[in-house]
């Protein structure tokens, strides 16, 4: 199985036209004609991830966040991006990233979050069709049973393994309908309100966006890394179904740059 076949499988699941105009998903580094020795699946790419790929015998890294986002005018050792590119090339490791195309794809990042929360009747919150493909920003679904706000927050914390969540004041009504956006999702908060969501779960939000929604919707912000941590499970499922026999490894390296002290 060649690396380009894995790349094609991922792009069939989350076609590149689904990505936002500012994004840089797809092939980042390397030549795709090589046979796949193994795929390391992760959220971010840095030198430690390349080291883990080497240790596990993987010549392919599949990440959610692109390694090359703002372009490079120099490839040296001035920052971690340059050093990671150099290390990947020296060790014949290909880097592929599936970012907002995976956010916007059916069965992608947000659907995986909904699965972890046990939501039913999950559908796109802001649906669109791109090149005949159903896509959308964020999803909305229903809890199996309505929950008190404090119980809901505890459930979300357990589902994503987080120690704390940033919330507005607790809602004084039951929560049943939940809107979700992995990563930085405050641009969808108003859409969640219009969709009749009782709660909105995302990775990060700007401070001032919290204002004015008291008793309107329960905001629950769990961290960017934490919200998207299960994206590697989506990668694994796609590769195992479309490219049987390719060894897949979910990275053990935590690349979250934020520490909770």
pLDDT of res. 71: 83
Handedness of CA 65, 30, 251, 84 (dihedral sign): negative
pLDDT of res. 120: 98
Q: Give kind and range of the element (H or E) at residue 125.
A: strand 120-130
Q: Is 79 in contact with 7 (CB distance < 8 Å)?
A: no
The residues, ordered by sequence, that sit 6+ positions from 66 with a Cβ below 8 Å of its Cβ are 23, 24, 25, 28, 97, 99
Find the DSSP H helices in the chain: 3-13, 47-55, 80-90, 100-104, 109-116, 149-160, 189-194, 224-228, 231-242
For residue 261, is pLDDT > 90?
Answer: no
Q: Which candidate, 228, 229, 192, 188, places its Cα nearest to that of 205?
A: 188
Residue 248: is it exposed, middle or buried by C-beta count within 10 angstroms (0-12/13-18/19+)? buried
Task: Count the neighbouring beta carbons within 10 Å of the beta carbon of residue 26.
Answer: 17
List pLDDT tens digits, range 124-155: 998 889 899 999 999 999 999 999 999 999 99
What percentage of the chain carries pLDDT values higher than 90?
Answer: 96
- Please give the mean pLDDT across all residues of the chain: 97
The residues, ordered by sequence, that sit 6+ positions from 255 with a Cβ below 8 Å of its Cβ are 42, 43, 44, 45, 46, 48, 49, 225
> What is the pLDDT confidence band of residue 192, given thresholds at 50, 70 and 90?
very high
pLDDT of res. 51: 98
Q: Is 200 in contact with 189 (CB distance < 8 Å)?
A: yes
> How big is the chain, counted in residues?
261
List pLDDT tens digits, range 202-235: 999 999 999 999 999 999 999 999 999 999 999 9
Is the pTM higher than 0.85? yes
For residue 44, is pLDDT > 90?
Answer: yes
Residue where the block lists tokens 């934490």: 226
Instruction: State the DSSP string of 149-199.
Output: HHHHHHHHHHHHT-S--EE-SPPSS-EEEEEEEEEE-GGGHHHHHHTT-SE
């Amino acid at each position: 199985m060649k690396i380009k076949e894995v790349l094609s499988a991922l792009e069939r699941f989350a076609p590149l036209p689904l990505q936002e105009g500012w994004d840089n998903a797809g092939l980042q580094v390397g030549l795709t004609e090589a046979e796949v020795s193994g795929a390391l699946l992760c959220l971010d790419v840095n030198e430690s991830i390349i080291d883990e790929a080497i240790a596990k015998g993987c010549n392919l890294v599949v990440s959610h966040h692109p390694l090359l986002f703002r372009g490079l005018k120099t490839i040296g050792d001035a920052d971690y991006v340059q050093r990671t590119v150099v290390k990947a090339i020296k060790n014949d490791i290909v880097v592929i990233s599936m970012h907002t195309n995976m956010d916007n794809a059916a069965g992608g990042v947000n659907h995986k979050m909904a699965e972890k929360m046990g939501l039913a009747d999950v559908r796109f919150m802001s649906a669109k069709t791109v090149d005949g493909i159903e896509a959308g920003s964020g999803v909305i679904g229903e809890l199996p049973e309505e929950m008190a706000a404090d119980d809901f927050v505890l459930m979300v914390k357990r589902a994503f393994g987080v120690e704390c969540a940033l919330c507005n004041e607790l809602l004084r009504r039951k929560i049943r309908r939940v809107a979700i956006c992995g990563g930085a999702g405050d641009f969808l908060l108003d859409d969640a309100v219009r969709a009749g969501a009782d709660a909105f779960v995302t990775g990060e939000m700007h401070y001032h966006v919290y204002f004015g929604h008291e008793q309107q919707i329960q905001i629950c912000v769990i961290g960017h890394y934490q919200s998207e941590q299960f994206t590697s499970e989506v990668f694994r499922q796609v590769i195992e179904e479309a490219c049987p026999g390719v060894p897949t490894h979910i990275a053990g390296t935590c690349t979250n740059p934020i520490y909770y002290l």
